[in-house]
Amino acid sequence: MPPPYTNDPFPMSLSEKAILEILFAGATLNDADSEIYWRDHSEWLADLGYQLRPRFLPGWVPSWLNKPDEIPILCEDAWSPPNGTVIDAVRINDGSSVVLKRIDRRRHAHEVRIGEFFTSLGPSKDNHCVPILDKLRDPEDDQTTIIVMPYLRRYNSPKFDTFGEAVEFFRQILEGVQFMHRHNVAHRDCHSLNIMMDGAHLYPHGFHPDINHQWNKADGKPSLFAASHTTRTWKPVKYYLVDFGISRGYSPAQRNGQPLWDRVIIGGDKTAPEHQDGYPDPFPRSIYTWADPFPTDIYYLGNFIRTEFLEGYGMTFAGFHGFDFMKPLVRDMTAYYPAQRPTIDEVVDRFAEIQAGLSSWKLRSRVVDKNEGRWIKFPRVAMHWARRTRSFLARRPSVPVPAE
C-alpha cells in the first residue's frame, strides 16, 4: 500500500506524485486527501458492487507519465471530482453510473435520515428529492456513512434552449420544495449547486463524469470537444433537490401557523436578510441567529432565480434576456421580512398563473445570454430555428414535461 499522504511538496512515491498532478485539473491539495480516502476504500467498495475509475485504485500510475507526447488533460485519469466527499462509480451488476457520497454523521446527523424518508415515499411526479439507492457503513469509522445515489448533472448542463424548458424547470423545483414543506421538512440550502437533473439520456454517446466533454471509452480518452447532446424539448428531464446536510424536519405541532424559530445554519446562499448582523432578532443576541427556515427557503428559491436567470452575478454572468415575467414573483419571494414572503403553496399557484399567461411563441423562443456576442449569435439563431421548426413539425410540446 502506498505511504500515507503528507503536505510535503515532494511526494514519497509515484502514486503520491500522481495525486499531486491533480493540479492539471485545477484541483487543490485538499482534494488529494479525499482521493486517498477513496483509493483506500476502493477494494471494499468493489466487493460491495461499486467500481471506481482507475485513478482511484491502489497502485495507480498516471497514464501520461514518461510519455512526452501525452497531454495530461487529454487523459481520462487526469480528472477528479470537484467535491472530495462525492465520487462517481459504476454499479457492477448493471453497469449504471452512480454517485457515492461520504457523510460524517457527527457533522450532518440528519442527512441520511431525511434522504431515506423521502426515498421511502417512492418515486412520484412531485417528489424531487434525490433517492438513496444504497447505504454503506464505513468499516473503519462507524460514524461515516456512504450513500449511493443516481448520477445527476447540474441543472443547467446543457444550457436551456427555450423558455419552455426553463419554465418547466421552475415548475419542477417549486413543486419539489412544496413537497418537502408539505412533509414539514425545510431544505435550508437551496442554491445552484444543490439543484440537479437526471440528464444522462440527453447524451446519446455519453460523457466523462467529471467534465462536460465527450469520453471515447474505446481508447479511454476524453475529447477536447464538449459532449454532443439533444435538447430537453426532445427528451424531457426530471430535476432533483440534493444535499440534505443542513435540512431539518419538524412536527406538525411545531408548524401550527406560528413562526417556527430555529437556530440558523448558513449554507451556500449567505444573503438571506434574516441571517445578517443587525437584523431584528426575536431572541437576545448570542452566538446564534434564529429564524423560521421555511420562509428562508422561499428567499433562497427567489434569489436563485434572480441571480441565475434575471440579474446574474459579478462580472462573469449577467443573466438572460426575457425573464421579466418572473420579476414580480421573485421580488415577493425575496422580501426583506420573512412574514411578507408568500408560502410555497402561494408561490406554486402564482407561478401556474404566470405560466398560463405565456404564449406558445414565447415558450418556444430561444434563451439568450445577456453577454452573448454578435459573432456567436448568428450561428446560434440559425441552429435554434432549425431545432424549433423540427420540434414544431413533430408536435413536441412547448413545455417539455417528463413522463411520470
- For residue 201, how far is the Cα from the chain centroid? 17
Q: Where in the chain is the domain with CATH 3.30.200.20?
A: 14-150
pLDDT tens over the chain, length 404 residues: 332 233 333 333 334 344 434 433 434 334 678 889 999 999 999 999 999 999 999 999 888 888 888 788 778 888 888 888 999 999 999 999 999 999 999 999 999 999 999 999 999 999 999 999 999 999 999 999 999 999 999 999 999 999 999 999 999 999 999 999 999 999 999 999 999 999 999 998 888 888 766 665 555 565 666 788 999 999 999 999 999 999 999 999 888 867 788 888 899 999 999 988 777 665 554 545 788 999 999 999 999 999 999 999 877 788 999 999 999 999 999 999 999 999 999 999 999 999 999 999 999 999 999 988 878 888 999 999 999 999 999 999 999 999 87
Beta carbons of 227 and 212 less than 8 angstroms apart? yes
Grid coordinates of 130: 434525490
Q: Helix, strand, or coil here: 101?
A: strand
pLDDT of residue 4: 29
E-strand stretches of 151-232: 153-154, 185-186, 195-198, 213-216, 221-226
Rounded distance, CA 91 to CA 257, Å?
Answer: 45
- CA of 293: how far to CAs of 81, 117, 263, 392, in Å? 30, 19, 9, 43
Three-class SS of 300-363: HHHHHHHHHHHCCECCCECCECCCHHHHHHHHHHCCCCHHHCCCHHHHHHHHHHHHHCCCHHHH
Cell match 466533454: residue?
213
Grid coordinates of 58: 491502489
Q: Where in the chain is the domain with CATH 1.10.510.10?
A: 153-393
pTM assigned to the model: 0.88
- Which is the CATH superfamily of the domain at 14-150? Phosphorylase Kinase; domain 1 (3.30.200.20)
Looking at domain 153-393, which CATH architecture does it have? Orthogonal Bundle (1.10)
